[in-house]
Every structure is written in structure tokens, then in C-alpha cells.
């Protein structure tokens, strides 16, 4: 599991020196709004054996939210703004990390933000890095790091 903020990746200069001077910046669109509670809980249960902790997390996920002064039930998504949501996102997206590694990509991901380092603008625009993640749309933009390997 990767645990770095993509924009501040300490690996960035080294990757640019390796010839990976183009960054594909991905933000999984509306990720926190669309998290499926059952899928997330099954992934957590793979790693956590404490049923009490799992019940607490489920309660956190299903806690209602205020909209215009009215409590609305939540059936998908995670409450945003707290420290638990990015942690849960990292656990849920661990399979995405493994798929990117399996494809040989160099990347840095934290929660729903990911930078994939490629060798050319054409590679970034081709979408060969595109992960198969059907529950979320990826919006992306390629940009040069401004550094090219000599």
C-alpha cells in the first residue's frame, strides 16, 4: 500500500531521472461519495479479526449526515473530512495498487489521488496506464515534470 501525497512524492526526482518525466495525475471522481459499504467491509474483514472494531467502522459508514438541517441516511460513501476516510480508501484501493504494480507502472497514490509516472506525453495520453476500476471514473491530466533524463 502506498502512503504518500502524490504532489509531494519524494520519488519524483528519481523517477524523472529514470526518464519518467511525464506525470499522469488521476483523481477518482466522486470516490468518497460512491464507496460501497459491503465491499469495503469485506476488504476490512480480510485484515481485521476484531468483530467489535468492524461494527464500529460499519457504524461510522452508516452514520447519517445533515443536509439542510435534516439527518439523511447514508447507504454508500464515507464521511469526508476526518482521518478515517483516507485510511479506508487506502485499504479499499490496495487492489488497484497491486494491479498497477503488476502492469509495471511507477506511481504514488494516497486515497483517491494518484500520480503515474510515464516516459512520454504520448504514453500519458494513450491510457495504457488506465486501471480497470469500474466503480469510479478517473479524470486525469498529463503534465511534464520539467525534468528530462540526460
Per-10-residue mean pLDDT, the chain, length 150: 51 73 84 92 94 95 87 87 88 89 88 86 73 48 49
Rounded distance, CA 119 to CA 16, Å? Answer: 9
- Contact call for residues 129 and 30 (beta carbons, < 8 A): no
- Return the pLDDT at 129: 60
- Return the pLDDT at 150: 32
- Return the pLDDT at 12: 65
- Return the pLDDT at 21: 79
Closest CA to 26 of 88, 118, 104: 118
- Return the pLDDT at 55: 97
- Return the pLDDT at 134: 46
- Return the pLDDT at 23: 84
- 1 exposed, middle or buried (CB, 10 Å; 0-12, 13-18, 19+)? exposed
CA atoms within 13 A on the CB side of 33: 5
Amino acid at each position: 500500500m502506498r502512503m504518500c501525497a502524490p504532489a509531494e512524492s519524494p520519488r519524483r526526482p528519481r523517477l524523472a531521472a529514470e526518464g519518467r518525466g511525464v506525470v499522469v495525475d488521476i483523481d477518482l471522481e466522486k470516490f468518497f461519495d460512491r464507496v460501497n459499504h459491503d465491499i469495503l467491509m469485506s476488504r476490512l474483514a480480510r485484515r481485521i479479526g476484531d468483530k467489535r472494531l468492524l461494527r464500529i467502522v460499519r457504524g461510522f459508514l452508516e452514520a447519517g449526515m445533515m443536509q439542510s438541517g435534516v439527518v439523511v441516511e447514508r447507504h454508500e460513501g464515507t464521511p469526508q473530512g476526518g482521518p478515517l476516510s483516507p485510511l479506508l480508501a487506502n485499504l479499499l484501493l490496495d487492489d488497484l495498487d497491486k494491479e498497477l504494480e503488476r502492469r509495471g507502472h511507477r506511481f504514488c497514490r494516497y486515497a483517491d489521488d494518484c500520480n503515474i509516472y510515464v516516459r512520454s506525453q504520448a504514453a500519458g495520453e494513450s491510457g495504457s496506464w488506465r486501471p480497470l476500476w469500474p466503480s469510479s471514473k478517473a479524470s486525469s491530466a498529463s503534465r511534464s515534470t520539467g525534468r528530462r533524463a540526460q
